[in-house]
Structure 1
């Protein structure tokens, strides 16, 4: 038996609208505004996932609390970013656990000055820099 993910696009617009307690035309409008954009079939029909139905309910709740559609769009954008970041953290945790099992007691990654995580080969040390940057504002030119 196949498992269904919360991101699988399975609901037609009429079903998604019913699950969200909205009219299908409202879902079309939200799609045009970029609030909740479902995936499309080959025939261009909208297909909504469980996560998108939950987002539609969240749009309805926030709208009822007086949040503007632009504010709702931004909230959903940030929530989607958090979901992506959490997935990336799980991916990195898994990679780290694998490396720790394969190379016990070894350093397996370092961080760049920009905060990026980079893997290290066995026996390679991270380059340490202790630089000091002094910034002084320009003095206004005297005329």
Structure 2
């Protein structure tokens, strides 16, 4: 799901509680401890996003495995930092891909420039052979 869709506030606390199998008071406690941060409507109603529901399900899973809330907070913090690093790595990979494409284009332009005389008298077949590195038929 796209990041924007995951963060859209959708569910009131009663629905979020039902979706996660938690009591609404548990959700309030988790909010007060900073484990989840639902948005608020104009009338100050808590609205949970799909991302909040996924986070609450992870909290539920971790506490079910015996991890206390302090441990859960550390795990969530590490997960957020790892997710941010992954997003940054994806951005850098995309920049590298674009730079490699640009470098390829520049190398091809350089090859063409080297093969074509300034007076434009080049034989097209000879230029193609030079670009392709061999014979053409």
TM-score calculated relative to the size of structure 2 = 0.65
Segments of 5+ residues of structure 2 without an aligned counterpart are 107-137
Question: Structure 1 residue 70: deviation in Å?
Answer: 0.6
Deviations 1:95-133 (A, max 9, x none): 221222122388xxxxxxxxxxxxxxxxxxxxxxxxxxx
1: CA distance, partners of 2:98 / 2:40:
37
Aligned residues: 104
Higher RCO, Cα 8 Å, sep 6+: 2
Question: Structure 1 residue 9: deviation in Å?
Answer: 2.3
Instruction: Give the structure 2 partner of residue 100 of structure 1.
Output: 100
Instruction: Give the structure 2 partner of residue 41 of structure 1.
Output: 41
Higher helix share: 2
Segments of 5+ residues of structure 1 without an aligned counterpart are 107-143
SS in 1 for 2:8: coil
Deviations 1:8-50 (A, max 9, x none): 2222222111110111111111000011222333443322222
Instruction: Give the structure 2 partner of residue 8 of structure 1.
Output: 8
TM-score calculated relative to the size of structure 1 = 0.63
Moved over 6 A (4+): none
